[in-house]
Amino acid sequence: MISSQQQKGGELLKRILSLVGARPQFIKEAVVHKVFEREGVNEILVHSGQHYDANMSDVFFEVLGIRQPDYFLNVGSGNHGEMTGKIMIEFEKVVLKEKPDVILVYGDTNTTLAGALVGAKLKIPVAHIEAGIRQEPKDMPEEINRVVTDHVSSYLFCPTKQAVLNLEKEGITKGVYFVGDVMYDLFLMMEPKFSYEVFETLNLFEDDFVLVTLHRDFNVDVPEKLERILNELRAINRVKKVVFPMHPRTRKRVFEFGLVGLLDGLTVIEPVDYLNLMGLLKRCWKVVTDSGGLQKEAYFAGKRAVVVMPDTGWRELVDVGWNVLAREDEIAEKIFQDDETTYPTGLYGNGDAANKIVDILLG
């Protein structure tokens, strides 16, 4: 029988159960896992299967050196309630079997919420990496997920000082830590390994194209809105080439809404792995995105982003004037506006967030 804690140098190490299910979670877990491994901690990895496209999950296990998960819940896609419920049912079985000391969840997906609720109901401390992020609209699925997760978590690892203040406004001060962003850790760790294969295959020129990613339901699930966005991208494409690795959800909607013709002239490609995406990011001129991860990664790479959202959890990037929010009908205007802004440093810590997280969990 495996004990709930492991012995190392006379000390008891906590047994950690990590739940992941979407691209940002895979790569955050990869960074934290390296520190757990170094400290001799048995971190059990569970993959919910929320995102199951080969280029969006399997490839991360390969290129980031992540071991295969100990458990694969295989829930697939579905409506929010169905997906969250399925993950809870299957994850609870794993938790009851493994009896972890801490459940570690990442970000703001249905997987995050499911893991946090299971931990809270079973009275197992939940640690939330990327706690304290807040944004409008409040009825956005990701916002609901992160708020509920924060309110049932025992360890709240904040990537920014603003996140700490957000939690304080909600009366959450216990167990709150400003550790910096593990995505910045990852960026610095992986930068020497970034791949420029896709960049070269597409015959692109540095600083001469706009990198686009779009997948949020409020952008791609409304036909009129998606049509306006695609027309804005076509306007940009007349001046700067648009390179668009298209999310499966977005591709499905484009075909469903009969908007395929609006893709003519755009460089639309399949989703690319993290290393090639970062290669494209490093070589692009600017970014258009509704991804919480990519708007930050753009900052890490010294690139400015037009964020197609009514608000962003990364308010500090907008407040300092580096990134800019845009409605779906003003993307081209925002991307071409002449604004010389000095690069703001140090917004996301010093690149040692994973070390701080593990130190706190083992403390």
What are the structure tokens assigned to 83, written together?
A: 């997906």
Our answer to whether residue 215 is catalytic in this structure is yes
Rounded-to-integer distance, Cα 26 and Cα 190, Å = 14
What are the structure tokens assigned to 297, written together?
A: 């990664």
What are the structure tokens assigned to 271, written together?
A: 């989703």
Residue with tokens 């992160």: 146
| Among 33, 41, 43, CA closest to 6 | 41
| Among 105, 162, 213, CA closest to 348 | 162
Catalytic residue among 33, 47, 128, 215: 215
Please give the positions annotated as active site: 215
